[in-house]
Amino acid sequence: MELLNRVKFILLNPKEEWEVIEAENSPHEKVLPYLLILALIPAAALFFNSWWQWHSSISETIQQLTDTASKTGNVNLLEEAVKRVKDSNPFNPVTGIIEAVTMFIIILGSAYISALAINALSDRFGVTKDFNRSFSLVAYSFTPLCVAGILYIYSPLRSLAPYIGLYGIYLLYVGIKPRINPPTEKQMGYFIMSAVIALAVYIIIPKIVQPISNDIRKNILIEQLKEKAKNNNNFSLYDSKYEFTKMANSD
């Protein structure tokens, strides 16, 4: 309940909530669980999306087989064909887990690197270095990005998540004063530099992590296909309708 209230108030009443956060002045070890839990939202959504795409592909193929069975009148072959489709195309949770873990790493890595960089700027803007304050500023500003990650469940909406996450820039702006408290004349400069850093890090980190993740997933899929190729009795999603039609015509 406490976490939900923090999410609600930082999104809806950021000015008041930053004052509460400042009064708490928690070390980053206590703020980290908040970010860890929120980072699970896009990670879990991506895993579900991976399963849903598999399920949709299987369902579409089975529907094609059903239509073919109705047209050819060989309904007796349908059950065997459907079984072969499911047996030859099982859901591979590993690829979904890799995608989810990748997103988790991107969010946590971006938060830590951004906080380190923002903290490193402190001296230039007349502020005493304090990683705890910098981390809490970044972590709570990541709230809308993490919450918007629920959109990764539905592929057509996933591209909206980063844009909704830009609301975090406003949270960063509001939180600069209570958390970092730079001199008034340097506050806007500190905010601009912090925002640029956070955006740059979040853009660069995926470009480093994603190719590695994609290569791992690709290798897993290749191994899976090689395993299928060893068994001539298995059907692929793309061949199932053709094979079923061939079976029906030879009946």
> Cβ of 162: how many Cβ atoms within 10 Å?
14
- pLDDT of res. 78: 65
Domain count, the chain: 1
Distance of CA 130 to the CA centre of its chain: 29
Among 88-97, 142-151, 233-242, the minimum mean pLDDT is found in: 233-242
Q: Which domain does 24 fall in, by range?
A: 2-249
CA distance 105 to 97: 12
* 2 vs 59, higher pLDDT: 2
- pLDDT of res. 216: 87
Give per-residue pLDDT as tens, 116-130. 999 999 888 888 899
Q: What is the DSSP string of 89-151?
A: S---HHHHHHHHHHHHHHHHHHHHHHHHHHHHTGGGGT----HHHHHHHHHHHTHHHHHHGGG
Residue 246 confidence (pLDDT) above 70:
no
Give per-residue pLDDT as tens, 32-72. 999 999 999 999 999 999 888 888 887 777 777 777 767 66
Give per-residue pLDDT as tens, 157-195. 989 999 999 999 999 999 999 999 999 899 999 999 999
The helices-and-strands tally (H runs, E runs) of the chain is: 11, 0
> Cβ of 13: how many Cβ atoms within 10 Å?
12
Residue 222: C-alpha distances to residues 54, 181, 214, 247 (Å): 16, 53, 12, 28
- pLDDT of res. 222: 78
Averaged pLDDT score across all residues of the chain: 85
> Which residue shows structure tokens 């591979």?
92
CA distance 173 to 8: 18
Residue 112: C-alpha distances to residues 31, 120, 201, 224 (Å): 12, 12, 10, 36
